[in-house]
Amino acid sequence: DIPHDQGLLGHSDADVVLHALCDALLGAAALGDIGQHFPPTEERWRGISSVVLLRRVRELLEGAGFRPLQVDVAVVAEKPRLAPYIPAMRRTIAEALGMPEAAVSVKATTAEGMGALGRGEGIGAWAVALIQRAEGGPAR
Protein backbone atom coordinates (compact mmCIF):
# COMPACT_ATOMS: atom_id res chain seq x y z
CA ASP A 1 0.00 0.00 0.00
CA ILE A 2 1.16 3.48 -0.89
CA PRO A 3 -0.14 6.15 1.49
CA HIS A 4 -2.02 9.07 -0.03
CA ASP A 5 -4.98 11.24 0.92
CA GLN A 6 -6.97 9.91 -2.06
CA GLY A 7 -7.62 6.38 -3.22
CA LEU A 8 -8.73 4.49 -6.29
CA LEU A 9 -12.11 2.84 -6.70
CA GLY A 10 -12.48 -0.69 -7.96
CA HIS A 11 -14.14 -4.03 -7.31
CA SER A 12 -10.92 -5.59 -6.01
CA ASP A 13 -8.24 -3.40 -4.42
CA ALA A 14 -8.00 -1.22 -7.58
CA ASP A 15 -4.24 -1.72 -7.99
CA VAL A 16 -3.83 -0.36 -11.52
CA VAL A 17 -0.22 -1.55 -11.78
CA LEU A 18 -0.96 -5.19 -11.03
CA HIS A 19 -4.18 -5.14 -13.07
CA ALA A 20 -2.26 -3.89 -16.12
CA LEU A 21 0.34 -6.59 -15.54
CA CYS A 22 -2.31 -9.31 -15.21
CA ASP A 23 -3.83 -8.20 -18.52
CA ALA A 24 -0.42 -8.12 -20.25
CA LEU A 25 0.40 -11.66 -19.09
CA LEU A 26 -3.01 -13.04 -19.98
CA GLY A 27 -2.89 -11.32 -23.36
CA ALA A 28 0.59 -12.64 -24.16
CA ALA A 29 -0.76 -16.17 -23.73
CA ALA A 30 -4.07 -15.41 -25.49
CA LEU A 31 -5.93 -16.26 -22.28
CA GLY A 32 -8.36 -13.36 -22.29
CA ASP A 33 -8.29 -10.56 -19.75
CA ILE A 34 -8.61 -9.86 -16.06
CA GLY A 35 -12.35 -9.18 -16.34
CA GLN A 36 -13.00 -12.63 -17.79
CA HIS A 37 -11.11 -14.46 -15.05
CA PHE A 38 -12.03 -12.23 -12.10
CA PRO A 39 -15.36 -10.63 -13.06
CA PRO A 40 -16.64 -7.75 -10.95
CA THR A 41 -20.03 -9.48 -10.90
CA GLU A 42 -18.60 -12.16 -8.56
CA GLU A 43 -18.52 -11.22 -4.89
CA ARG A 44 -15.55 -13.50 -4.17
CA TRP A 45 -13.28 -11.00 -5.95
CA ARG A 46 -14.57 -7.94 -4.02
CA GLY A 47 -11.70 -6.26 -2.18
CA ILE A 48 -9.24 -9.05 -3.00
CA SER A 49 -5.55 -8.19 -3.11
CA SER A 50 -4.26 -7.83 -6.65
CA VAL A 51 -1.17 -9.78 -5.57
CA VAL A 52 -3.50 -12.76 -5.16
CA LEU A 53 -4.88 -12.12 -8.66
CA LEU A 54 -1.35 -11.92 -10.08
CA ARG A 55 -0.46 -15.25 -8.47
CA ARG A 56 -3.62 -16.74 -9.96
CA VAL A 57 -2.64 -15.39 -13.39
CA ARG A 58 0.73 -17.12 -12.97
CA GLU A 59 -1.15 -20.37 -12.27
CA LEU A 60 -3.28 -19.85 -15.38
CA LEU A 61 -0.14 -19.29 -17.46
CA GLU A 62 1.49 -22.40 -16.05
CA GLY A 63 -1.67 -24.40 -16.71
CA ALA A 64 -1.52 -23.29 -20.34
CA GLY A 65 2.15 -24.26 -20.57
CA PHE A 66 3.79 -20.83 -20.23
CA ARG A 67 6.06 -19.04 -17.82
CA PRO A 68 6.83 -15.32 -17.57
CA LEU A 69 10.34 -14.26 -18.59
CA GLN A 70 10.25 -10.46 -18.28
CA VAL A 71 7.67 -7.84 -17.40
CA ASP A 72 7.69 -4.07 -17.70
CA VAL A 73 5.17 -1.64 -16.22
CA ALA A 74 4.90 2.11 -16.78
CA VAL A 75 2.77 4.06 -14.30
CA VAL A 76 1.43 7.56 -14.96
CA ALA A 77 0.49 9.44 -11.79
CA GLU A 78 0.76 13.05 -10.70
CA LYS A 79 0.56 12.01 -7.06
CA PRO A 80 1.68 10.22 -5.01
CA ARG A 81 5.34 10.24 -5.93
CA LEU A 82 6.05 6.58 -6.71
CA ALA A 83 9.84 6.47 -7.12
CA PRO A 84 10.52 5.55 -3.47
CA TYR A 85 8.16 2.57 -3.76
CA ILE A 86 9.51 1.07 -6.99
CA PRO A 87 12.01 -1.34 -5.36
CA ALA A 88 9.25 -2.82 -3.17
CA MET A 89 6.89 -3.00 -6.16
CA ARG A 90 9.51 -4.89 -8.17
CA ARG A 91 10.08 -7.34 -5.29
CA THR A 92 6.36 -7.97 -4.85
CA ILE A 93 5.86 -8.63 -8.57
CA ALA A 94 8.92 -10.88 -8.81
CA GLU A 95 7.79 -12.95 -5.82
CA ALA A 96 4.22 -13.29 -7.10
CA LEU A 97 5.43 -14.42 -10.52
CA GLY A 98 8.28 -16.61 -9.26
CA MET A 99 10.85 -14.79 -11.35
CA PRO A 100 14.06 -12.87 -10.65
CA GLU A 101 13.66 -9.27 -9.59
CA ALA A 102 16.11 -8.37 -12.38
CA ALA A 103 13.44 -9.45 -14.89
CA VAL A 104 10.88 -6.97 -13.49
CA SER A 105 10.85 -3.32 -14.54
CA VAL A 106 8.61 -0.67 -13.00
CA LYS A 107 8.88 2.98 -13.91
CA ALA A 108 6.82 6.01 -13.00
CA THR A 109 6.17 9.25 -14.80
CA THR A 110 3.60 12.04 -14.84
CA ALA A 111 1.28 13.37 -17.52
CA GLU A 112 2.67 16.86 -16.84
CA GLY A 113 -0.74 18.35 -16.20
CA MET A 114 -2.32 17.08 -19.42
CA GLY A 115 -5.69 15.36 -19.46
CA ALA A 116 -7.47 13.55 -16.65
CA LEU A 117 -4.29 11.85 -15.45
CA GLY A 118 -2.45 15.16 -15.49
CA ARG A 119 -5.19 16.71 -13.39
CA GLY A 120 -4.72 13.94 -10.84
CA GLU A 121 -8.13 12.40 -11.53
CA GLY A 122 -6.71 8.91 -11.75
CA ILE A 123 -3.64 6.78 -12.32
CA GLY A 124 -2.79 4.94 -15.53
CA ALA A 125 -0.58 1.91 -16.05
CA TRP A 126 0.63 0.10 -19.14
CA ALA A 127 2.42 -3.23 -19.06
CA VAL A 128 4.12 -5.60 -21.45
CA ALA A 129 5.11 -9.17 -20.75
CA LEU A 130 7.46 -11.61 -22.41
CA ILE A 131 6.45 -15.22 -21.82
CA GLN A 132 7.92 -18.53 -22.92
CA ARG A 133 6.42 -21.93 -23.47
CA ALA A 134 7.49 -23.93 -20.44
CA GLU A 135 9.52 -27.04 -21.14
CA GLY A 136 7.11 -29.91 -21.55
CA GLY A 137 4.17 -27.51 -21.49
CA PRO A 138 0.99 -28.45 -23.34
CA ALA A 139 0.73 -27.33 -26.95
CA ARG A 140 -2.13 -24.93 -27.57
pTM of the model: 0.81
What averages of pLDDT result for each successive group of 10 residues across the chain (140 residues)? 47 73 97 90 79 95 96 84 84 96 91 62 87 73
| Predicted pLDDT of residue 9 | 41
Instruction: List Cβ neighbours of 73 (8 Å cut-off, separation of 6 or more).
Output: 17, 20, 21, 93, 105, 106, 107, 125, 126, 127
Q: Please report how the helices 50-63 and 86-97 are oriented relative to each other, as an axis angle in degrees rounded to 10.
A: 40
| Predicted pLDDT of residue 26 | 98
| Predicted pLDDT of residue 6 | 46
What domains appear along the chain, each with residue ranges and CATH number?
Answer: 16-132 (3.30.1330.50)
